[in-house]
Amino acid sequence: MSDKEAFTEHDWRRLLTSLGENPDRPGLIETPARVTKAWKHWTSGYDQNPVEVLKAFEDGAEEYNELIVVRGIPVYSHCEHHLAPFFGKATVGYLPNGKIVGLSKLTRLVDIFSKRLQVQERMTMQIANALMEVLEPKAVGVVIKCRHLCMESRGIRAIGEETITSTLLGELQPNLALRTEFLALTRD
């Protein structure tokens, strides 16, 4: 993005003014700089490549043929419709096909896609597709449960409601027993 297109601290000051605030009052003087820094962090997923994160290991994994599931992965994202936060937890699992990935890499994969402007449905698919493409496992499952502030704090004001999305790929689609096992492992 060119400097002419970049959203700057000046723009955040203009936003504060347009809301009826005084950006020069003591509590707001540093807000434009803080918000600029925060949005760089909240959208840092655009600068990260999921392929580079998902370095596969083949040592000892070639014999393992059961599900590997990490649950309770924190999700903090922003909806692309209102720029409002949504947050919750993800469960990511896969059935290896000779290769495994470090467990922390599943958390990093969720983090990469959540630090982009998103809709939860697409983010769920992006995580699953990246894992399937890079690791080439027999199956991948992703379940995400989030609360959306765009629903809770405005409009319908559906306070406390969770949206649950899932993407099941590979053998999780036709194999009912495997699907049932994975979904059971996702429950709290």
Within a domain: residue 37?
yes
- Point out the catalytic residue in the list 30, 58, 62, 81: 81
Within a domain: residue 109?
yes
Same domain, 63 and 29: no
Q: What is residue 155's DSSP assignment?
A: T
Same domain, 34 and 102: no
Q: How many domains does the chain have?
A: 2
Q: What is residue 21's DSSP assignment?
A: -
Same domain, 23 and 107: no
Within a domain: residue 131?
yes
Within a domain: residue 1?
no
**First-to-final CA distance of the chain:** 43
**Confidence band of 5 (pLDDT split at 50, 70, 90):** confident
What does the pLDDT read at residue 4? 60
- Point out the catalytic residue in the list 52, 58, 62, 80: 80
**What CATH number did the domain enclosing 83 receive?**
3.30.1130.10
Tens of pLDDT along 50-77?
A: 999 998 777 767 788 899 999 999 999 9
Say how far apart CA 54 and CA 100 lie, in whole Å: 9
Given a contact cutoff of 8 angstroms between Cβ atoms, the answer to whether 182 and 93 are in contact is: yes
Tens of pLDDT along 158-179?
A: 888 999 999 999 999 999 999 9
Report the alpha-carbon angle 109-113-117, nearest 5. 165
> Which segments are annotated as binding site?
79, 82, 150
Within a domain: residue 135?
yes
Same domain, 19 and 69: no
DSSP labels, 55-113 = -EE-TTTTT--S-EEEEEEEEEEEETTT--EEEEEEEEEEE-SS-EE-HHHHHHHHHHH
Tens of pLDDT along 26-39?
A: 999 999 999 999 99
Structural domain span for residue 21: 9-43
Q: Write the burial class of residue 41 (CB in 10 Å: 0-12 exposed, 13-18 middle, 19+ buried).
A: exposed
Same domain, 63 and 123: yes
Same domain, 63 and 30: no
Same domain, 88 and 67: yes
> Which segments are annotated as binding site for Zn(2+)?
79, 82, 150
Same domain, 32 and 118: no
Same domain, 82 and 23: no
Is 10 in the active site?
Answer: no
What does the pLDDT read at residue 22? 97
Over residues 81-87, the mean pLDDT reads 96
Residue 7's closest CA among 45, 29, 36, 37?
36
Same domain, 91 and 131: yes
On the question of pLDDT at 81 being above 90, the answer is yes
Within a domain: residue 50?
no
Is 148 in the active site?
Answer: yes
Q: Which strand ranges, in their side-by-side order, compose the sheet holding 139-148? A: 117-118, 68-79, 85-95, 139-148, 163-170
Say how far apart CA 34 and CA 98 lie, in whole Å: 46
- Point out the catalytic residue in the list 9, 82, 136, 181: 82
In the predicted model, what is the mean pLDDT of the chain? Answer: 93
What does the pLDDT read at residue 2? 52
Is 81 in the active site?
Answer: yes
Within a domain: residue 158?
yes
Q: Which amino acid is at 167?
A: T
Same domain, 35 and 89: no
Residue 72's closest CA among 160, 164, 180, 187?
187
Same domain, 85 and 28: no
Is 80 in the active site?
Answer: yes
Tens of pLDDT along 105-133?
A: 999 999 999 999 999 999 999 999 999 99
On the question of pLDDT at 1 being above 60, the answer is no
Tens of pLDDT along 128-158?
A: 999 999 999 999 999 999 999 988 888 778 8
Tens of pLDDT along 88-101?
A: 999 999 999 988 99
**Confidence band of 104 (pLDDT split at 50, 70, 90):** very high
Is 120 in the active site?
Answer: yes
Given a contact cutoff of 8 angstroms between Cβ atoms, the answer to whether 78 and 117 are in contact is: yes
Over residues 33-49, the mean pLDDT reads 95
Within a domain: residue 48?
no
- Point out the catalytic residue in the list 79, 118, 126, 146: 79
